[in-house]
Amino acid sequence: MPDLLPIEAKNANFQILLPNKWNSNHYKPVCLHMAGTGDHYFWRRRHLLAKPLLTKAGIASIILENPYYGSRKPHDQVRSVLHNVSDIFVMGGCLILEALTIFNWCKQQGLGPLGVTGFSMGGHMASLAASCWPHPIVLVPCLSWSTASSVFTEVFMFGIA
């Protein structure tokens, strides 16, 4: 996939929030947070989701930055507007591979159970990643749908955009 990405998007960036001390040696839950459309940085997911999960439930979080977003956004891209429709598929493929790499790393570190969540597009990407992981995983897609096809068919056909 690296050959399909702009240079700015080739390296995955993430933040991880871990407890100072786990409550159990065998139960070390971790949730991967996928970004929704327009969520270019870590702040929103870190403060609204990850910190409360950590302080109230002892659940660690990994917050992944999407390709084409934040510091991974091409220099000539404006906001969340991708240059090509195919870029959304490249983004999805990259996020699946990056999530699987993170899940595998967590497993190697003895972390788990694992979960993945996201809002809107992030929920869809979380669903894709969870469906590719061959082990039990918690999936919480929020405000997500099974397809975005209506955006590419109805919206453009009827000139709504």
Total of domains in the chain: 1
Helix (H, G, I), strand (E, B) or coil at 69: coil
Q: Quick one: how many helices (H) and strands (E) in the chain?
A: 6, 5
87-122 pLDDT, tens digit per residue, is: 678 777 888 999 999 999 999 999 999 999 998 888
- The CATH number that applies at residue 70 is 3.40.50.1820
Is residue 4 one of the residues assigned to a domain? Answer: no
Is residue 72 one of the residues assigned to a domain? Answer: yes
Per-residue pLDDT of the chain (161 residues), as tens digits, is: 557 777 776 788 899 999 999 999 899 999 999 988 777 788 889 999 999 999 999 999 999 988 877 777 767 766 766 656 666 787 778 889 999 999 999 999 999 999 999 988 889 989 999 999 999 999 998 877 666 566 556 655 555 55
Is residue 83 one of the residues assigned to a domain? Answer: yes
Threshold 0.85, pTM exceeds: no
Is residue 23 one of the residues assigned to a domain? Answer: yes
Could you give the CA distance from residue 43 to residue 50 in angstroms, rounded to a whole number? 10
Residue 132's domain comprises: 9-157
Is residue 1 one of the residues assigned to a domain? Answer: no
CA–centroid distance for 124 within its chain: 9
Q: Is the peptide bond before 113 cis (omega within 30 degrees of 0)?
A: yes
Burial class (CB in 10 A: 0-12, 13-18, 19+), 4: middle
Is residue 53 one of the residues assigned to a domain? Answer: yes
Is residue 86 one of the residues assigned to a domain? Answer: yes
Is residue 3 one of the residues assigned to a domain? Answer: no
| Maximum alpha-carbon separation in the chain | 57
